Amino acid sequence: MASILVLYYSVGGSVRRMAELLAEGVERVPGAAAVLRTVPRVSTRIGGQENAIPEKGPPYAELEDLEACAGLALGSPTRFGNMAAPLKHFLDGSGLLWQRGALAGKPACVFTSTGTLHGGQETTLLSMMLPLLHHGMLVMGLPYTQPELNATRAGGTPYGASHFAGLGDDQPVGDDERTLCIAQGRRLAEVALRLSRA
């Protein structure tokens, strides 16, 4: 089985829903299995403590999850046009993996959700690719052979799946966005399997 890590951070649930859809796409590929993981909040309170395990949802990711995966899908809400600090914090702790080239050659993709339509989906997606490229990962986008990329009136970019959640973070993932999430997970799993068999 090729294990595909779907690693995300989500507060309002939009990116979590996208992660579940990407995982659905992964699971549609025979021989691939999705592993959902999240990261804890970063506490800025002096002496502040976060729960050691999540109250609900998938477990927190360990560096071993990164090392063990055959492919990685990385999802974050857009925060001021960039990825959220907790996810960046987790990646900043992956220096030892980088030194060993442990992720080099593995396929990866990124996805995000925003409150506003032009609030930085593409900048976030591109900035999320940077640490993955430093790790030597093979970063994949979404091709325009997916007709939803041309049709969408909400999220969905060639840089990765995205979702326009609205200012209240209350818009459901639309049909085109949903199809693109599933297609992205599926594509990642297919490429990971091909690479692992090569």
Ligand X SMILES: Cc1cc2nc3c(=O)[nH]c(=O)nc-3n(C[C@H](O)[C@H](O)[C@H](O)COP(=O)(O)O)c2cc1C
Q: Which residues bind ligand X (CB under 6 A)?
A: 10-16, 77-81, 113-116, 119-120, 165, 169
Residue showing the smallest CB distance to ligand X in the complex: 119
Coil vs helix vs strand at 162? strand
Which is closer to ligand X, CB of 43 or CB of 116? 116
Q: What is the Cα gyration radius of the chain? A: 16
Q: What is the widest separation between alpha-carbon atoms in the chain?
A: 51
Residue 2 or residue 159: which is nearer to ligand X going by CB?
159
Q: Cβ of residue 169: shortest distance to ligand X, in angstroms?
A: 4
Q: Are 185 and 34 in contact (CB under 8 A)?
A: yes
The nearer residue to ligand X, 114 or 152, going by C-beta atoms, is 114
Least distance to ligand X, CB of residue 145, Å: 27
Identity of the residue, 119 or 174, whose beta carbon is nearer to ligand X in the bound complex:
119
| Those residues with Cβ within 8 angstroms of residue 181's Cβ, 6 or more apart along the chain or in another chain | 18, 21, 22, 24, 25, 111, 161, 173
Cβ 155 to ligand X, closest distance in Å?
10
Cβ–Cβ under 8 Å, residues 159 and 122 = yes
Q: How far is the CB of 14 from ligand X (least distance, A)?
A: 3
CA distance 191 to 108: 10
In whole angstroms, what separates CA 36 from the centre of its chain?
10
Smallest distance from the beta carbon of 165 to ligand X, in angstroms?
3
- Least separation in angstroms between residue 102's CB and ligand X is 28
Q: How far apart are the first and last CA of the chain?
A: 15
**Which residue number, 33 or 41, has a Cβ lying nearer to ligand X?**
41
Instruction: Tokens 């989500």: give the residue.
Output: 10
Q: Do β-strands 32-38 and 2-8 pair in parallel, antiparallel, or remain unpaired?
A: parallel
* Cβ closest to ligand X, residue 81 vs residue 147: 81
